[in-house]
Chains A and B, each alone.
Chain A
Amino acid sequence: MTVWNELEPLLGKVQKPARYIGCEDGAQAPEHTPGAAAWLLGYPDTYEIGLPNQGLQILYEIINERPDGVAERTYAPWIDLEAELRAAGVPLFSVDTHRAAADFDILAFNLSAELTYTNLLNMVDLAGCPVRTADRAADDLLIGAGGHCTYNPEPIADFLDFVVLGDGEEAVGEITEVVAAWKADGKRSRIEVHRALAGIEGVYVPALYDAIYGDDGQLVETVPNDPAAPERVEKRTIADLGDWPYPRRQLVPLTEVVHDRLNVEVFRGCTRGCRFCQAGMITRPVRERPAEQVRTMVAEGLRRTGYDEVALTSLSTADFSGIEEVVRETVNDPSCGGSVSVSLPSLRVDAFTVQIAGEIQKARRTGLTFAPEAGTWRMRQVINKMIREEDLYAAVRSAYSQGWRRMKLYFLTGLPTETDEDTLGIAALARNCIAIGREFHKNPSVTVSLGGFVPKPFTPFQWFGQNTREELRRKIYLLRDELRRDHNIKLRWHDPNATMAEGLVSRSDRRMGAVIEDVWRHGGTFQEWSEHFDLDRWLDALERAGLREEDYVYRHRTEDETFPWDHLSAGLHKDFLWQDWRDALAEVGLEDCRWTPCYDCGACTGYGIEHVVASAVPPAGGSQGTGQDRSRGGEVPVTLLRAKPVPVGAGAAER
């Protein structure tokens, strides 16, 4: 049933009502039938942030192509509309046909940031559904989630009926079958649908597991309490991205959103092996989209949408085989209108990459962003992002010489083994960039953006105790004071309090659910938004739950410790990650396995899949993260001129 007539009078009272009307090009109004499982796909943040999410759009199309499924979309109503909805008794609705959430069978969320969890609870509540799984009736909504955050779903385990690990393209079809059958059967038993869902590869049903804690309060294990639940849930991985040319009809919003352009995913996965990067660990192996398919998706997408900008998306996009040819053809393709700009959101730090950027961004040459991540070579060895200073300076020189005037440099602070020398190294790098800029412009500027490091599950840094709020603030102020007289260098930083809250959720167990619920119940929505984040809500909630920041955020984990996500798997062997952690502390790098022999991290071998890359040799440019001169590209094999990794623990011996 549509709630449009109740919603419509409220739209005149709120900011940006276009967020709530749907009507985008590409939007669907599927016919709901008793035989089809109805998904409401939700993004727990505003429309502007959520609409461009490619994962959600891919699943939206795949489900709607099925005879046994329909999918619509919903986004978190902003605070003003939420108040109006609650006052008027109007529930959460889909933007496609403005149907009430309760008319669907599944409300499933894409989770890409921990601080959106309170919005998830708020949306479930606005849908008229009990927030805790245990309180739901047989025919209440099934609440699901997928996305990078769900590799540790334990903090929200009590709120979710099911969780999808890994790529969703295949899993949503299987879930649709199970839910459609459950619906046809009259939704008689919730436990039966839980059991059936748990039988799907890649699907985790938290209610079918118990978390066991020891007398000391430490987690001992998370074990199935039902024979239908597997002991360990493995992630799903699609073997060939070429089989999934989605989205076919990217949604074109009527109002301005982030990433407002055509987006074409050119590959999934990354094996650069940056140790802080969860995305690079959990999305392995690398699966490139065939170049021909990329060209077709770009040309058809531009023609259909009318966009004049296309982003080729992936992690480290310049690693795509034949990236130069693809972008050159796009820019010069007359059927693309001739005035198309291509953006590469994830730029590698080297002159080669800037050269490409220069060729394709002919207009609007305003700013360019690089992510050296750390201020010294030593620190970059620890995190395995082995960009030499020469790489950065060559990239910056190339950018300034081609007309860019503003550089943005991304750094992390609070990394393992970080010293003040590493922090101050950021200032030195930034100053050298300014000095290079002065050769070309009167007034070059550099913005240094400093993020607090939050260790993530399934990375080598999962054992690392996060820096305290005080320590992060001290380092930020140290750098701020150092740069006080450098008027060309602007420093921005992420609020250390928000970094703490993110860390609180990132690696915690089921007990943290009470804290998240408490923060939500005390009005803590939109915690990603600095104007709505409030540390005291989190601290008060921790106190009420009897939990401590120290235990969940700052404590170094031990080798034999059970993680809350140990019953889940991203394919990576825990002993591989442990060895990589020891290598990090020994300042030893690890090469990219795309172009070198396998070191058996587990991501390919465990699932019988392989890298899909069109070129067996690495692209040219900079050091390729090896610390060597790789400017001639694939002519020389990539190897690391380093001592052998330090073997630690039994797992390493087996390898």
Chain B
Amino acid sequence: MRLRLRFAKTGKIRWTSHRDLARIWERVIRRAGLPIAYSQGFSPHPKLHFGLALSTGHESVAEFLDLDLRADAELPTPEDLAALPARLTPLLPIGIEVTAVAEIPSSSTSLQEAVTSCEWSIELRGVTPEVAAPAVERLLGADELIITRQRKGKDVTDDARPYLLHLAVVGPTDAGTELAAELATRPRGLRSSELLELLDLGATEGRVRRLTQWMLLDGTRTEPLAVPAGATSAPPHTELCAT
């Protein structure tokens, strides 16, 4: 049986890496006593499948984790599943909140392959909305946006324009400007830092938060797992650990 979990990662905890997060989840699943399946072999690992990595320092309210339960384990009832978010969140570090759980078919396409784009909130520090707006228009009006990347130790150029699905100025923040962006993830994706380079405003990256991940299912845009109506969503930029 395969479960999909949706969770948020906000506050100080955003400074942990993708790898750190995987280790945190392994411990939490053991603590929760979930009958997780292990890989075979010399060094068995719990069968956890993470979605697209979130860069260290970025927040998200739309992270996903698939996990396989042992074939011989007693299957959780729908009530068990409904209670799971409230059971897992207190075991997780402050700032990680499980917002939804559901069973998915074991044959589901992996998250990394299924997700085609993500929506982001990106803060540009040191730039006003008035300055940011023309740069945003320039990118949207361009036919191609050439960026240079390192790949296998070599410089290669890519056209970033196809990845820029949406970009708009939301408004001012305390330190600059908030942008809303939808960036494609396949085949390679476009990083927020690369977007900043393309904007060429000399701005530094402030708060970056993933808001949504989108899959294309039979031509329809859908979330890997939606937050149920009435569920709490992660609070805005608060420092949960700080007192």
Smallest Cβ distance from A576 to chain B, in angstroms?
Answer: 47
Contact for B243 among A9, A17, A29, CB less than 8 A: A29
Which residues of A sit under 8 angstroms from B24, Cβ to Cβ?
254
Smallest Cβ distance from B171 to chain A, in angstroms?
Answer: 21
Given the contacts A23-B12, A97-B242, A18 and B30 also touching, CB distance less than 8 Å: no
- Is the pair A18, B20 in contact by a Cβ cutoff of 8 Å? yes
Smallest Cβ distance from A93 to chain B, in angstroms?
Answer: 12
Query: A303 CA to B242 CA in the complex, in Å?
Result: 27
Smallest Cβ distance from A70 to chain B, in angstroms?
Answer: 12
B148, CB-defined interface residue at 8 Å: no
Which residues of B sit under 8 angstroms from A254, Cβ to Cβ?
13, 16, 20, 24, 93
Query: A511 CA to B123 CA in the complex, in Å?
Result: 54
- Is the pair A21, B17 in contact by a Cβ cutoff of 8 Å? no
- Is the pair B15, A18 in contact by a Cβ cutoff of 8 Å? yes
Which residues of A sit under 8 angstroms from B15, Cβ to Cβ?
11, 17-18, 20-21
Question: What is the size, in residues, of chain B's interface with A at 8 Å between Cβ atoms?
Answer: 30
Smallest Cβ distance from A422 to chain B, in angstroms?
Answer: 39
- Is the pair B43, A12 in contact by a Cβ cutoff of 8 Å? no
Q: In this complex, what residue of B is CB-closest to A16?
A: B17
Which residues of B sit under 8 angstroms from A303, Cβ to Cβ?
31
Query: A255 CA to B14 CA in the complex, in Å?
Result: 12
Smallest Cβ distance from B98 to chain A, in angstroms?
Answer: 15
Q: In this complex, what residue of A is CB-closest to B13?
A: A23
B23, CB-defined interface residue at 8 Å: yes
Which residues of A sit under 8 angstroms from B56, Cβ to Cβ?
17-18
Given the contacts A21-B15, A23-B95, A307 and B27 also touching, CB distance less than 8 Å: yes
Q: In this complex, what residue of A is CB-closest to B26?
A: A306
Name A's interface SS. Answer: loop
A22, CB-defined interface residue at 8 Å: yes
A308, CB-defined interface residue at 8 Å: yes
A4, CB-defined interface residue at 8 Å: yes
Smallest Cβ distance from B9 to chain A, in angstroms?
Answer: 11
A363, CB-defined interface residue at 8 Å: yes
- Is the pair A2, B16 in contact by a Cβ cutoff of 8 Å? no
Which residues of B sit under 8 angstroms from A25, Cβ to Cβ?
93
B198, CB-defined interface residue at 8 Å: no
B239, CB-defined interface residue at 8 Å: yes
A287, CB-defined interface residue at 8 Å: no
Query: A103 CA to B44 CA in the complex, in Å?
Result: 47
A256, CB-defined interface residue at 8 Å: yes
Query: A16 CA to B94 CA in the complex, in Å?
Result: 19
Which residues of B sit under 8 angstroms from A29, Cβ to Cβ?
241, 243
Query: A446 CA to B130 CA in the complex, in Å?
Result: 66
Contact for A23 among B17, B19, B93, CB less than 8 A: B93
Given the contacts A12-B205, A17-B56, A98-B242, A22 and B23 also touching, CB distance less than 8 Å: no
Given the contacts A22-B12, A255-B16, A256-B23, A11 and B57 also touching, CB distance less than 8 Å: yes
B28, CB-defined interface residue at 8 Å: yes
- Is the pair B27, A21 in contact by a Cβ cutoff of 8 Å? no
A364, CB-defined interface residue at 8 Å: yes
Q: In this complex, what residue of A is CB-closest to B125?
A: A9
Q: In this complex, what residue of A is CB-closest to B56?
A: A17
Given the contacts A4-B239, A255-B20, A363-B44, A21 and B28 also touching, CB distance less than 8 Å: no
A337, CB-defined interface residue at 8 Å: yes
Give per-residue flags for A1-20: 1 if the beta carbon is below 8 A from chain B beta carbons, else 0. 01010000101100011101
Smallest Cβ distance from A151 to chain B, in angstroms?
Answer: 37
Query: A303 CA to B32 CA in the complex, in Å?
Result: 9
Query: A304 CA to B241 CA in the complex, in Å?
Result: 20
Contact for B242 among A4, A11, A20, A256, CB less than 8 A: A4
- Is the pair B205, A2 in contact by a Cβ cutoff of 8 Å? no
A305, CB-defined interface residue at 8 Å: yes
- Is the pair A252, B27 in contact by a Cβ cutoff of 8 Å? yes
Which residues of B sit under 8 angstroms from A255, Cβ to Cβ?
16-17, 20
Docked complex: B227-243 residues within 8 A CB-CB of A: 239, 241-243
Which residues of B sit under 8 angstroms from A97, Cβ to Cβ?
242-243
Which residues of B sit under 8 angstroms from A23, Cβ to Cβ?
12-13, 93-95, 241
Contact for A306 among B16, B31, B43, CB less than 8 A: B31
Which residues of B sit under 8 angstroms from A307, Cβ to Cβ?
27
Which residues of B sit under 8 angstroms from A21, Cβ to Cβ?
12-13, 15-16, 241
- Is the pair B241, A22 in contact by a Cβ cutoff of 8 Å? yes
- Is the pair A306, B30 in contact by a Cβ cutoff of 8 Å? yes
Given the contacts A20-B15, A255-B16, A255-B17, A308 and B239 also touching, CB distance less than 8 Å: no
Which residues of A sit under 8 angstroms from B12, Cβ to Cβ?
4, 21-23
Query: A254 CA to B44 CA in the complex, in Å?
Result: 22
Query: A255 CA to B15 CA in the complex, in Å?
Result: 10
- Is the pair B27, A305 in contact by a Cβ cutoff of 8 Å? yes
Smallest Cβ distance from B174 to chain A, in angstroms?
Answer: 10
Which residues of B sit under 8 angstroms from A22, Cβ to Cβ?
12, 241
Q: In this complex, which of B19, B29, B56, B91 has the most chain A Cβ atoms within 10 angstroms of its Cβ?
A: B56
Smallest Cβ distance from B133 to chain A, in angstroms?
Answer: 24
Q: In this complex, what residue of A is CB-closest to B44?
A: A363
Which residues of B sit under 8 angstroms from A2, Cβ to Cβ?
242
Q: In this complex, what residue of B is CB-closest to A29?
A: B243
- Is the pair B243, A18 in contact by a Cβ cutoff of 8 Å? no
Which residues of A sit under 8 angstroms from B30, Cβ to Cβ?
306, 308, 337
Docked complex: A54-113 residues within 8 A CB-CB of B: 97-98
Smallest Cβ distance from B29 to chain A, in angstroms?
Answer: 8
Which residues of A sit under 8 angstroms from B13, Cβ to Cβ?
21, 23, 254
Which residues of A sit under 8 angstroms from B16, Cβ to Cβ?
18, 21, 254-255
Query: A252 CA to B43 CA in the complex, in Å?
Result: 23
Smallest Cβ distance from B166 to chain A, in angstroms?
Answer: 25
Docked complex: B113-154 residues within 8 A CB-CB of A: 125
Instruction: Given A256-B20, A306-B26, output 5 extra A-B contacts at Cβ < 8 Å.
Output: A4-B12, A23-B93, A254-B20, A254-B24, A254-B93
**Shortest 7 CB-CB contacts between residues of A and residues of B:** A306-B27, A306-B31, A17-B15, A306-B30, A21-B12, A18-B16, A23-B241
Enumerate 14 A-B pairs (CB-CB under 8 Å) in ascending A order: A4-B242, A16-B17, A17-B15, A17-B56, A18-B16, A23-B12, A23-B95, A25-B93, A97-B242, A254-B16, A254-B20, A304-B31, A306-B26, A307-B27
Q: Name B's A-contacting residues (CB within 8 A).
A: 12-13, 15-17, 19-20, 23-24, 26-31, 42-44, 56-57, 91, 93-95, 125, 205, 239, 241-243
